[in-house]
């Protein structure tokens, strides 16, 4: 029997979600319905996947909770912040992701989830116009108010531990300021106190507050937020894990899984054109060019670390990669991703692959939210801190130390090996798979 050094998942786990929109209400409703035995948590690795541990006669396949102490779904308590005042039930109905008949059995629980006032700056998401917003003197005051929310929730709900999950909109792009504001904890705090609204996004206030209150923080959008040296330092100082960025749901999931086919088969790539249409609140926000820029940086990064020119110049020296997102209201949450892939084979002869993924954005994101929250809570109890690279499997643009030219792992199957090895290691087993 393997011996795990992970602290047990005693008591309740609080999940504080930034944003009470389509993704978070779908996540909450699914967890609450699963607890009542009224649905199944399809798509969740922590609830379904089995991992091999041991070799030879000792080999066996176990579910995650048989290897490591993962929090039980019955122990989760939800709350959220949002710029709109509607409770989780009203928001779930308005999102039109789930049918009313699939929401009503947990209506009372959802009605009780009333959003806290959001820390918000309209300049970071111009298309949002809610009035459930904190009045803040400056970014430091914004951070202090969020910290107070976390402390109050812990006290009033009686939860033992808290994870903070960003499931809100994509902010405008904030370039890392590596020689100033974002270089150190001290510089970050000084900028907050000086109300440097250009370099300090509201999401950074949430992340700073979470870490200072010993809560793991997950960035589910492509925002710069925790992807800066100051936050890496704070994560290590407080010994609290961070993860990000951007949930890997539709098109990038396909890309990170399909590109390895091309690379493994030694086929050449001439171009990969990706376009999306979606009509939910995320699409509305991304219709603003400054917000789309943040998403574009995230989506473009996947391919270049899988099909690498330096490794195979004959095959990947000069391909063209383009990503587009188009706001199309009639489609609502039912996103459609089109990929046109121009490849070449023997003697340079061209071929084409076309993928049309008619996906449901929040249906794909909800199990990611669950897994990320449970695994970040696990990592914290295992004494892990800093960037949790083993969670790259769930993320579109995995965080990495770009200041030393670290290349992130975007290859889906290599990411899966990282995930399995981390679970094995935390469970006291040998992390025995290698990434080639």
Please state, in angstroms and as integers, the Cα–Cα distance from residue 113 to each residue in 28, 153, 373, 397, following that order: 10, 12, 18, 30
Q: What is the DSSP letter of 354?
A: E
Per-residue pLDDT at 295: 67
Instruction: Look at residue 7 and tell me whether its pLDDT is greater than 90.
Output: yes
CA 205/CA 185 separation, integer angstroms: 13
CATH number of 251-358: 3.30.360.10
Q: Which tens digit of pLDDT belongs to each residue from 82-121? A: 999 999 999 999 999 999 999 999 999 999 999 999 999 9
**More reliable by pLDDT, 127 or 371:** 371
The residue-averaged pLDDT of 221-239 equals 97
The residue-averaged pLDDT of 46-70 equals 97
Per-residue pLDDT at 2: 72
At the top level of CATH, the class of 13-247+362-426 is: alpha beta
Contact 415, 423 (CB under 8 A): no
Per-residue pLDDT at 298: 62
Q: Which tens digit of pLDDT belongs to each residue from 146-200? A: 999 999 999 999 999 999 999 999 999 999 999 999 999 999 999 999 999 999 9
Contact 169, 291 (CB under 8 A): yes
Please report, rounded to a whole number, the percentage of residues in the chain having pLDDT higher than 70: 98
Q: How far is CA 206 from the centre of its chain?
A: 15
Per-residue pLDDT at 79: 98
Tokens describing residue 123: 């300049």
Contact 365, 247 (CB under 8 A): yes
Helices (H) and strands (E) in the chain, counts: 15, 13
Task: Tell me how long the chain is.
Answer: 436
Per-residue pLDDT at 234: 98
Residue 343 φ/ψ, nearest 5 degrees? -120, 170
Per-residue pLDDT at 115: 98
Q: Could you tell me the residue ranges of all domains in the chain?
A: 13-247+362-426, 251-358
Per-residue pLDDT at 127: 86
Instruction: Look at residue 122 and tell me whether its pLDDT is greater than 90.
Output: yes
Question: What rounded mean pLDDT belongs to the chain?
Answer: 94
Please state, in angstroms and as integers, the Cα–Cα distance from residue 310 to each residue in 235, 265, 269, following that order: 34, 17, 14
User: For residue 74, how many other CB atoms are within 10 A of its CB?
Assistant: 9
Per-residue pLDDT at 299: 61
Q: Which residues contact 297 (CB under 8 A, 6 or more apart)?
A: 173, 222, 397
Per-residue pLDDT at 240: 98
Q: Dihedral through CA 294, CA 295, CA 299, CA 301, nearest 10?
A: 10
CA 302/CA 275 separation, integer angstroms: 15
| Strand 268-278 with 320-327, pairing | parallel
Q: Which tens digit of pLDDT belongs to each residue from 408-435? A: 999 999 999 999 999 999 999 999 999 8
Q: Which tens digit of pLDDT belongs to each residue from 387-414? A: 999 999 999 999 999 999 999 999 999 9
The pLDDT confidence band at residue 290, using thresholds 50, 70 and 90, is: confident
What sections of 36-193 are H helices per DSSP? Answer: 45-48, 64-67, 88-95, 107-111, 139-157, 185-193
CA 134/CA 118 separation, integer angstroms: 6
Per-residue pLDDT at 250: 86
Contact 218, 367 (CB under 8 A): no
The residue-averaged pLDDT of 44-54 equals 98
Instruction: Look at residue 1 and tell me whether its pLDDT is greater than 60.
Output: no
Question: What are 327's strand-pairing partners?
Answer: 278
Evaluated on CA atoms 373, 46, 407, 298, the torsion sign reads: negative
Instruction: Look at residue 352 and tell me whether its pLDDT is greater than 70.
Output: yes
Q: Which tens digit of pLDDT belongs to each residue from 8-41? A: 999 999 999 999 999 999 999 999 999 999 999 9
The residue-averaged pLDDT of 223-243 equals 97
Per-residue pLDDT at 300: 66
Instruction: Look at residue 311 and tell me whether its pLDDT is greater than 70.
Output: yes
């Amino acid at each position: 029997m393997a011996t795990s050094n992970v602290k047990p998942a005693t008591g309740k786990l609080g999940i504080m979600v930034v944003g009470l929109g389509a993704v978070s209400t779908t996540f909450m409703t699914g967890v609450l319905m699963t607890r009542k035995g009224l649905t199944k948590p399809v798509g969740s690795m922590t609830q379904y996947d089995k991992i091999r541990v041991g070799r030879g006669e000792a080999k066996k396949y176990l579910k995650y909770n048989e290897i490591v102490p993962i929090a039980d779904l019955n122990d989760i308590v939800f709350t959220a912040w949002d710029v709109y005042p509607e409770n989780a039930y009203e928001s779930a109905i308005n999102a039109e992701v789930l049918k009313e008949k699939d929401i009503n059995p947990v209506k009372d629980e959802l009605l009780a989830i009333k959003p806290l006032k959001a820390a918000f700056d309209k300049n970071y998401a111009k298309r949002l116009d809610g009035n459930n917003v904190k009045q803040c003197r400056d970014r430091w005051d914004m951070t202090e108010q969020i910290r107070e929310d976390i402390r109050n929730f812990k006290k009033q709900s009686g939860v033992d531990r808290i994870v903070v999950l960003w499931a809100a909109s994509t902010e405008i792009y904030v370039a890392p300021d590596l020689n100033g504001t974002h270089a150190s904890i001290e510089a970050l705090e000084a900028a907050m106190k000086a109300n440097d609204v250009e370099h300090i996004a509201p999401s950074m206030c949430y992340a700073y507050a979470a870490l200072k209150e010993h809560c793991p923080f997950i960035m589910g959008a492509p925002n710069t937020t925790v992807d800066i040296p100051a936050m890496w330092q704070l994560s290590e100082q407080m010994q609290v894990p961070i993860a990000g960025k951007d949930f890997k749901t539709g098109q990038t999931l396909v890309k990170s899984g399909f590109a390895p086919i091309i690379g493994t088969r030694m086929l050449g790539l001439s171009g990969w054109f990706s376009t999306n249409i979606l009509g939910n609140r995320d699409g509305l926000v991304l219709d603003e060019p400054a917000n789309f820029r943040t998403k574009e940086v995230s989506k473009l990064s996947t391919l270049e670390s899988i099909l690498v020119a330096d490794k195979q110049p004959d095959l990947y020296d000069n391909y063209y990669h383009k990503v587009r997102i188009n706001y199309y209201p009639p489609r609502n949450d039912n996103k459609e991703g089109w990929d046109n892939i121009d490849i070449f084979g023997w003697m340079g002869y061209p071929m084409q692959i076309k993928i049309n993924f008619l996906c449901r954005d929040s249906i794909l994101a909800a199990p990611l939210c669950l897994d990320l929250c449970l695994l970040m809570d696990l990592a914290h109890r295992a004494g892990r801190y800093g960037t949790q690279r083993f969670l790259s499997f769930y993320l579109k643009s995995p965080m990495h130390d770009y200041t030393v030219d670290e290349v992130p792992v975007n290859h889906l199957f290599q990411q899966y090996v990282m995930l399995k090895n981390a679970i094995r290691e935390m469970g006291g087993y040998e992390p025995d798979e290698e990434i080639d």
